Amino acid sequence: MTAVHAGRPPAATPTSWTARLRERLSHVVPPGQALPDRQPAYMSSWIYVFGVLTLAALVVVVASGVLLTLGGVTWWHVSSLGRFVNSLHLWSVELFFAFMVIHLWGKFWMAAWRGNRALTWMTGVVAFVGSIGTAFTGYLSQSNFASQWISTQAKDGLNSVGVGAFFNVLNPAQMLLWHVVLLPLVLGVIVVLHVVLVRRHGIVPPIDADEEEVAP
Residues at the contact surface with other proteins, assessed by CB under 8 A? 30-33, 36-42, 44-47, 49-50, 98, 101-102, 105-106, 202-203, 205, 210, 213-214, 216
Task: Decide whether 156 or 213 has the Cβ nearer to other proteins.
Answer: 213
Task: Decide whether 124 or 202 has the Cβ nearer to other proteins.
Answer: 202
Residue 47 CB, shortest distance to other proteins, in Å, is 5
DSSP for 132-156, please give it: HHHHHHHHHTS-SHHHHHHHHHHHH
**Helix, coil or strand: residue 46:** helix
In the chain, the N- to C-terminal Cα span, in Å, equals: 19
Task: Decide whether 77 or 199 has the Cβ nearer to other proteins.
Answer: 199
Residues 6+ apart with CB under 8 A from 88: 60, 64
Residue 124 CB, shortest distance to other proteins, in Å, is 16
Residue 66 CB, shortest distance to other proteins, in Å, is 27
Q: Residue 95's closest CA among 64, 68, 61, 127?
A: 61
Residue 83 CB, shortest distance to other proteins, in Å, is 19
Cα 147–Cα 150–Cα 154 angle in degrees, nearest 5:
135
Residue 90 CB, shortest distance to other proteins, in Å, is 14
Task: Decide whether 184 or 205 has the Cβ nearer to other proteins.
Answer: 205
Cα 117–Cα 191–Cα 164 angle in degrees, nearest 5:
110
d(C-alpha 139, C-alpha 209), whole Å: 43
Task: Decide whether 106 or 130 has the Cβ nearer to other proteins.
Answer: 106
